[in-house]
Amino acid sequence: MKFEEKLIKLRKEKAMSQEELGEKLNVTRQTISKWELGQTKPDAEKLAEISKLFNVSTDKLLNDEEDISKTKNKVTMATNDNNKKNIIIVIIFAVVLVVLLAGIVFSFFSNILKMGNAEGLLNTFFNMVDKGNEKFNENYENIVDKSNEKFENMVDKINEKMVDNSNESKEEFKSTFNEMSDEMNKQFNEYSAESQKSFWNTVDSQTESNKKYKIKSSNSTYENLYTGVKDKFFTEEAIKCVIADNLKNERKITVKYNNFIAKESDELVNLKSKLNNKEYIISYDYDEEGYICQMNIKDI
């Protein structure tokens, strides 16, 4: 068995992609690909790191007459006894942890089911309105205080006018009163406009937050499960996911593979049938709002 065949076998037994192995060895995915294609071989330092990572001697890696699966079986047999106690401890710990988490999750989802999705959305909206009203009430109190102060000043000035000018005509008195009334109304309108602006800023902020969450939820399955180097099985699953989403959503995702671009279900099924390689690279294009609009599949 050649070195490149051994490297592929060891990597897949560890369920690693080329990119993940490259990160552990501090090299690029392209370098791993060249090693596995037999185009180049790692230097002594990287060979030692590979040996340590997979628990296989460098002699076994470089000797074409050695079958790496036999070496792996010997190592496994030698370590099985030492791992039995650790496995039992881990199982006990895992069971306890699962029981605790199950209680927490059950309690959480029970509350969610009692509340219902519609009620949850209404609560979110009313919380948003309450925050806006709190800000409006705070500004309204300022308006009342300022208005009272203005009114008291107006009364004082009118009294001064009446004392200093006892023979002042009714027209002049009316003009003075209207002038000060207009000033008070102007002040009230300024504070009212500020309060409304603050309220709608709160509404816009909450709306923007909900929009970002919706975009993140829509993209999460693809970005978490179907991104980077994937084998044929996961690449086919990614296309199935697109088919399912396109059937239930108005927002459609296209899939591009080589010169093929597909969006409709029958086109995507036909495109999936053209996948023959063992591994692919999956990446995405996004629309102006941030939603995934195209899945790009490339051969490795």
Same domain, 191 and 132: yes
Which of 66, 84, 103 represents a domain boundary (last residue)?
A: 66
103 assigned to some structural domain: no
Same domain, 212 and 233: no
98 assigned to some structural domain: no
Q: Which residue has the higher pLDDT, 37 or 142?
A: 37
Are 112 and 104 within 8 A, CB to CB?
no
Same domain, 211 and 263: no
Asked whether the predicted pLDDT for residue 105 surpasses 90, the reply is: no
Same domain, 138 and 171: yes
Q: What is the mean pLDDT of residues 10-37?
A: 91
Same domain, 242 and 292: yes
- Tell me the per-residue pLDDT of 107-144, one tens digit each, with 9 for 90 and over: 555 555 444 444 555 555 566 656 655 665 565 556 55
Which of 66, 85, 107 represents a domain boundary (last residue)?
A: 66
Mean pLDDT estimate for the chain: 76
Same domain, 128 and 189: yes
Q: What is the 3-state secondary structure (H, E, C) of 1-47?
A: CCHHHHHHHHHHHCCCCHHHHHHHHCCCHHHHHHHHHCCCCCCHHHH
108 assigned to some structural domain: no
- Structural domain count, the chain: 3
Same domain, 159 and 206: yes
Domain holding 36, by residue range, is 3-66
Asked whether the predicted pLDDT for residue 74 surpasses 50, the reply is: no
Bridge partners (DSSP) of residue 295 are 255, 284
Lowest mean pLDDT among 30-44, 99-113, 189-203, 265-279: 99-113
71 assigned to some structural domain: no
Same domain, 58 and 130: no
Bridge partners (DSSP) of residue 231 are 279
DSSP secondary structure string for all residues of 136-169: HHHHHHHHHHHHHHHHHHHHHHHHHHHHHTTT--
Same domain, 62 and 126: no
79 assigned to some structural domain: no
